[in-house]
Structure formats: C-alpha cells, structure tokens
A and B are shown apart, each in its own frame.
Chain A
Amino acid sequence: MADREVRPATAGPRTHVRVSQAAEGRRPAFEGTSIAPRIVVVGAGPAGVRAAQTLLEAGIRPVVIDEAARAGGQIYRRQPANFRRSHEALYGTEAARAQAVHDGFDAIAAAVDYRPDTLVWNIADGQVWTASEKGYATLAYDALILCTGATDRLMPVKGWHYAGAYSLGAAQVALKAQACAIGANVVFMGSGPLLYLVASQYVKAGAKVAAVLDTSPFSNRLRAAVDLIAQPGILADGVALTRALAKAGVPVLTGVTPLEITGDGDDGVNGVRVRLGNGTERHFTADAVAMGYHLRPETQLADLARCEFAFDAKTRQWLPKRDQDGRASVAGVYLAGDGARILGARSAEVSGRLAAFAALADLGQKLDPLTLTHLRGQVASYARFARGLATAFPWPHEQAASLPDEVIVCRCEAVTAGDLRRVVNETGAKEANRAKAFSRVGMGRCQGRYCGHAGAEVIAACANIPVEQVGRLRGQAPVKPLPVAIAPEGEE
C-alpha cells in the first residue's frame, strides 16, 4: 500500500507542473515563426490523449486521428452517449484512470484538430493517408506519433471459428461498450491478466461464467513474482480478481491445455474440451468462449512508415525498434503505448508523454531532463512488470506443434494447420511471407492480425527452426479494408 502512494498514479498533475515550470523560462524554438510544426497523433487511447495534451501544453496544435467515434482506446473504451452506467461499473479499479483519460481528452478536443471515425490506412513520403465517410485525404507531418494500440493475441484451437467464439477483448468490449455478454454461459480460456479481469467483470455484471481456464501453470506466477512486484498495486488487484472468481463459485483452473471448442458450423459453440494439469480431459458446456493470450501490438502503420523491427525473444514476437523515449528508426516517427509494445494502459499514458517530448525535443524545444528521467523510470517499472506477466502467463507457442491438421489457422481464408504444414514440406517455404504466398495464411482481410503469430509457430515447428528465423509478415496498405468507391474528400 505504501509503495502505491509514493509513485504518482499517472503522469498527472506533478509532471504537468514540472513541464510548465520548465517551459516558462524558455520559448519553444518555433514560437514566433509563421510555420508551426505539423504533428499528427494517430490513436486517441491513453497514449494518444497524453501525447496530444503534452503537445498542446508546448504550444502546438496537433492533429489527432482516431478510428473510433469516441476517444478512449480499447481498455478505456467509452459506451455510446445514451448509455448510463457509471465509470465504476465499467472500469472497476481503473475507473479513476479511465475518467482522467476521458476528461483529459474532452478538455482538449476542441483545442486539437480532432478527426474521429477516421482511419489512417497508409503512410508514404511524409504524409498520412486517411479514410472516412467523407472520403480519403492526405496530411503532411513533421512528426508522427503512432499510438495505435493492440489486439488480443490468439493461438488457434479446433473450433475457434464457430459462431460464439470471441477474443477476450471482444468479450470485454461487448460488456463495456454494449452492456452485453457474448453468451448466456461463457467459458474464458487462454492466459494473461485479461483472462481474469474480463471473467470477473462478467461475474460482477451478472453474467454466467462456466469456467476460467488458464493455460499457464500456477507455478509460473511464483517465478514471475520478482518482476510482478514492480507494480504492487496492479499485482494486488490481480490477486483480488482471482479470489473474487473463486468466491463466486467459478471453477478456475491452471495448467490447462485447450483441445477443442465443441460445436458445429451451423449452430456454433456448445462447449470447450480441455486437458487438465493432472492429465484428465474435461468438457465444459458453454454457448460462448472468450479466448486470448495477452495482447499483440498493432504495428502495421509503423511497418508502412518503414520502421525497422527486432525480434523480442521474451514474448516471441517482432516489435518496432524504439529508443527509450519512443523514437522509431525512421526520423520523425514516434511510437507510444501498446502499439509499440505491450506495457498496459497506465504505461501508455506515460509513454505517450515521452513520445510527445521526444518529438518536441527533435523539433528544437528544450526539455527538463528531470521530467524525462522521471517518466522513463515509470515506464521501466511497467516494463519490468510486463516481463513478469510474460513469465507468469507465457504465449503457449508449444501448442502450435500439436495443433491437429484440421484446425483452421487463418480464419479469414479458412487455411488449416495441415495446409500450412503441407506448404512448408512440399515447397520448402520457411519464411513467413513465402509461406503466405503459397498457403494464403495472412492473405485475408485481417492481414495476419489473428493468424500471424500462430502461423509463424506452426512453420517453425514444422521446419524445425527457431521462430525468429521465420520472420514476420510484411504489412501492406490499406491497413484495414478500403472501399473501391473511395473518392477524395469533398468530391461527390
């Protein structure tokens, strides 16, 4: 408890005051000139909101582009305007933070050049390309701060394409943004903090949770404790969630191996079959499954901006390279929040500020080094916690090798593990993009968001090479589907 009070909960008032004091004696380098630097922030979640605030405080009016109708991102996703539940009901222990992010953005929405319901679908030659109901447009930038957030990370299991199977994030969005449960009797399966969080949110909201099935052995958490203790408040919250589930009579099992989501293509999900830690098989009846293995960053825009990536061995995924403040390998591009690496919403607020400061510094503004050190220290602490999470709830890559051939790996194209293995064996394709060219894994509408990681693990296991050698799927525009009908904004 004492620890929590010592560290500021957010990059909030204290830091703000420091920045103002620092800026008082020094004008931004560009003040007084007729040309203000054009800074574009992509994403209005916690990272984007804090980045935009920081820029405004420095006298810059950024463009803030967000795909959603309302700011907040996913974890702090807002309900529609005519819903009435309180922030406590929606966000639980994070209610105050969510409120701060929402209020923070609402206070600046009129001061920034805010473009909601707008997709950035490509980046080229110092311009972002946007698409909205009005059509497409370009925006030139001097600095680009990508705060593109994350999605769930999925490992396929037989039957995961049936109606009624959803990601953990989806189960949470259904509740937060639509006041719905994904089913009348839901199994939660996978690993990571979201598994427990969403399941307990469902219980609290009055939904029926059939079971919580964690693929990670409980003992992992003990090994992870040394890093998890970096964020004792979050750790305590997590422990409390698990206890609440048990108290509600929800079976919570660890060390579980998913075998199958049972059901069929017409009627959808009717349950989940797993192997327990003791080797026995068990079937849980359910009409919906929420599954996921923590998160993966949305890095497509960083890729299109030609940022370099590096393989992160701890989480077995490719991440865009960044310096400690979020500068990407390409000058003028900055990465913040879960879109750069998964450190959570609290860290996103801090890294959003850091990225904005980095952009300001690169544009000539002098910054207070103490502020930066303080913020960097906070991120480092969240990074340590994230390492603990990766230890406690690892990506179950070994499941890829034992996926039966008939399991669909690529949902969009209905390509099975067997199809992918056949391509590896018959053509020798061992690199992600080559295997995609021959198997179609990654060619569908989602552009590899939900099949990319698992596909790489299947290839690696089949070709008997380290997953790093498989490489990563290269991003191609548009990052999300664009209508052929798209015309320039302002054209009929």
Chain B
Amino acid sequence: MPNPVSVSDVLIIGGGLMGTSAALFLRQRGRSVTLLESDLVGRQASGTNFGNVRRQGRPLHQLPLANRAIAIWRRANELLGADVEYLQSGHIRVCYRERPENIAKMEEYATEARHLGLDLELLTGNALRTRFPFFGPDVLAGSYSALDGHANPRLTAPAFARAAQKAGAQVFENTRIIHAAKQGTDFVVTAEDGRTFQAPVLLITAGAWGNKLSQQFGEPVPLTPRGPNMSVTEPVPYAIAPAVGVMTPVEEETVYFRQVARGNIILGGSTRGPSYPDQYRAYVLPQNTMKQLRQIRRLAPALANLNIIRVWTGIEGYLPDSLPVMGPSATTSGLFYAFGFSGSGFQIGPGVGETIAELIDTGTTPIDLSHYDIARFRTAES
C-alpha cells in the first residue's frame, strides 16, 4: 500500500458547505483537517441552490440548529475574510386563495416558532398588499420573518474552504474517493488515482454521493439525486427586499424569488429536473422552466415584464423524509455524516459545520440530532 498523502486528525470527504464549514470550525478547535473534494469545492448543491437563508418553514426541531447558523451568517464576512453577500432583508412565505387552511397552519407554526426564538408576523388583505404590492391577486396571506434573508451560494462554500486553508486545513480538489474503510484505528480512503489519505476520524459530507460512501460502512440510505430548477433575470433597479416563497403541498407551485443587491432577480422552484451524479451533470428541462415562469407570474405578476437571461441547476441529495443524515455512524466508531439535506441545507450549513465539529472534537453537542440518525434507514437486512 502506498504511503498516505496525508495523515490528520480528521478526514472530510465532500467539499460543499457542510464539509468546508466543518473544516474551518475543526481547525478553530485545533484539530488537523484534510478535506477531499472530487471536483471543485462548492460546485454542486452548495453552489447552485437558491440561496435562501431562512429559518422560517423549517421543522420546529431544527430551529435551534438554524439559530446557531444565523449567528454565524451575521458575522460571515468577518469570519471568512470575504463577502458572501448575506442580506438580512427578510423572508415572506405566502399561500394562495384556494388553500385557506394554510393560514391556520401558518399561525400554528408562528406560535410554536416564537418559543424557539423565531418571530413571525402574519399579514393578510390590505396589510399584505401595502407592504408587498408585487403580490398577485391569488395570494391570500403571508408569514413574514424579518430576521431571515439570503446570500450568494456560489461564493459561500469556496469562501469557507479558503478560510479553512488559511487556518491550516489541507484541501485537495479533483480528488475523487472511490474506496473508504476502517483499518485498525484509522480510516484509509483511496482516490481514483491511487492516492490514499488517513485519519482516525472520518466525516462524510459528500452530498448526493453520500450513499456511495455510507454503504461501504454497511449503512446505505435511500438517497435520490435531484436538480434544483433555477433561473435569473437581467439586473433591474433594486426594489424587492425580502426573499419570497410559496407554501403549498404541490411541487409545481413551490416557487420562490429573491432580488440581489446588483439587481438580478433569482427565480427558483417548481418541478425539479433530472441529475446524473455519476457524470456530474444535471439538466434544466425547458418544460420545467416554463412551468416555473407560469407560477412566478401568478405569484408576482409584475415580474412578467422582465427577461430571464440564463438557467442553471446542480445536484442535490434528497432523502424520503426530507431530513438529512447527520451525526455519528451507527456501525463504525469515529465515522460521522452530514449529507442529504434535501434542498434545505444552505441556511443551516454553517451551523451544521459548527455542530459536527463540536461533536467530533468533544464527543457531544447540545443540538438534538436524533431526527437525523442514519439508523432510521436501517432495514431488516442491514
């Protein structure tokens, strides 16, 4: 066996937001870190998602983690030495007239969320339309979260990676790991080109590829790759402060938009497209773009006048309950996971990194990870 390229305290496979933030926080705790990324850091889900930095709408049990994350977002530029364009300009999610039952759901959520540190304001009728005149006539009510916002996903994970490197982490891009196993006290992972890396602790943050690695430790999970459906308009004068989304059980109707400081309006959602993790390719289906634009017109008719200038997608990993796998392995000591964030990982990302780093470093964390236990996918056979 060839000599390992590096031996460190912690090995991380997957250079998205989870892996890069964990790398930084582990370095801050004095642990040596090697981060391995098959392509370039932050290129897939972390870099191509909508960029919503919202706590509103998350499962209530996730709010403590989201609160941790928001504290980091607020000091992100300082922490990273780079501008990730975080704008704390609010988030509003609305429901349509044909589902008035959503108002009660919003009220219920707001009541519970208030206990967990998230203050939401419910708006209907004139109050809603005076504050947010761009909503279409079908919009019935909205729940507004003043202290949520959005940021630039293309910049964030790479900024964490650079900060981690500056803090002494080793980052290897273009390093695809094809084999991982525990040999004695250490994990040894092997790249496509034969290089090996070694550490007593292994963290798998490999997104849509997480299952390929977890199954090597006897823990397969039903991970489905999907491509977010993203479009962007040309830059127009800045006029829309909050990020906007629709609360609906129907995937096609689930659209959202946010205007960035430069003026472009980013549109996301509706039917998601196919992705091919093995080829690192994903495609936006034009029919999905057309569906998305129709839904956007319903949500905010004035946007109809604008031009979209490009579309994009990436590869996200989804689990059936839309919750990630996060926490220690159920089969192997020293092995940890944080992947499968099902399209909702951006806001909590820095919090995930901080929490996993704490867990690895101290053996414990006050954040409740029970809902994310990989053991929930254990079947009779495994």
| Residues of A that sit less than 8 Å from B by CB | 121-122, 124, 129, 136, 426-427, 431, 434, 437-438, 443-445, 447, 476-478, 481-488
In the complex, what residue of chain B is closest to A427 when comparing beta carbons? B158
Interface string of B223-262 (1 = CB under 8 A from A): 0000000000110000000000000000000000000000
In the bound complex, do residue A438 and residue B308 qualify as a contact, i.e. CB atoms below 8 Å apart?
A: no
**Known contacts being A122-B286, A129-B286, A136-B290, is A434 close to B305, with CB within 8 Å?**
no
Cβ contacts under 8 Å, A485 to chain B: 293, 297, 304-305
**Known contacts being A136-B290, A484-B304, A485-B304, is A434 close to B310, with CB within 8 Å?**
no
In the bound complex, do residue B305 and residue A484 qualify as a contact, i.e. CB atoms below 8 Å apart?
A: yes
A488 to B158, CA, bound (A): 40
B178 within 8 A of partner (CB):
no
Interface size class of B (residues with CB under 8 A): 20 to 34
In the bound complex, do residue B294 and residue A438 qualify as a contact, i.e. CB atoms below 8 Å apart?
A: no
In the bound complex, do residue B310 and residue A427 qualify as a contact, i.e. CB atoms below 8 Å apart?
A: no
In the bound complex, do residue B290 and residue A486 qualify as a contact, i.e. CB atoms below 8 Å apart?
A: yes
Contact of B309 among A122, A427, A437, A481 (CB under 8 A): A481
Distance from B92 Cβ to chain A, minimum over Cβ atoms (Å): 20
User: Can you list 5 A-B contacts (CB < 8 A)?
Assistant: A427-B162, A445-B307, A447-B310, A481-B309, A483-B307
3 closest A-B pairs by CB: A481-B307, A485-B304, A476-B310
B7 within 8 A of partner (CB):
no
B49 within 8 A of partner (CB):
no
Distance from B307 Cβ to chain A, minimum over Cβ atoms (Å): 4
In the bound complex, do residue A124 and residue B296 qualify as a contact, i.e. CB atoms below 8 Å apart?
A: no
Cβ contacts under 8 Å, B72 to chain A: none
In the bound complex, do residue A484 and residue B309 qualify as a contact, i.e. CB atoms below 8 Å apart?
A: no
Distance from A415 Cβ to chain B, minimum over Cβ atoms (Å): 11
In the complex, what residue of chain B is closest to A125 when comparing beta carbons? B285
Identify 8 new A-B residue pairs, CB closer than 8 A, beyond the known A476-B311, A478-B308. Answer: A437-B47, A444-B234, A447-B310, A476-B284, A477-B284, A483-B304, A484-B304, A484-B308
In the complex, what residue of chain B is closest to A443 when comparing beta carbons? B310
Instruction: Name the interface residues of B119-167: CB closer than 8 Å to any CB of A.
Output: 154-155, 158, 162
Cβ contacts under 8 Å, B71 to chain A: none
B40 within 8 A of partner (CB):
yes
Cβ contacts under 8 Å, A124 to chain B: 283, 285-286
B303 within 8 A of partner (CB):
yes
In the bound complex, do residue B310 and residue A478 qualify as a contact, i.e. CB atoms below 8 Å apart?
A: yes
A124 to B274, CA, bound (A): 13
In the bound complex, do residue A481 and residue B308 qualify as a contact, i.e. CB atoms below 8 Å apart?
A: yes
Instruction: Name the interface residues of B278-336: CB closer than 8 Å to any CB of A.
Output: 283-286, 289-290, 293-294, 296-297, 303-312
A486 to B304, CA, bound (A): 8
Contact of A484 among B154, B285, B306, B312 (CB under 8 A): B306
In the bound complex, do residue A477 and residue B234 qualify as a contact, i.e. CB atoms below 8 Å apart?
A: no
In the bound complex, do residue A444 and residue B305 qualify as a contact, i.e. CB atoms below 8 Å apart?
A: no
In the complex, what residue of chain B is closest to A483 when comparing beta carbons? B307
A488 to B309, CA, bound (A): 19
Distance from A416 Cβ to chain B, minimum over Cβ atoms (Å): 15
In the bound complex, do residue A447 and residue B309 qualify as a contact, i.e. CB atoms below 8 Å apart?
A: yes
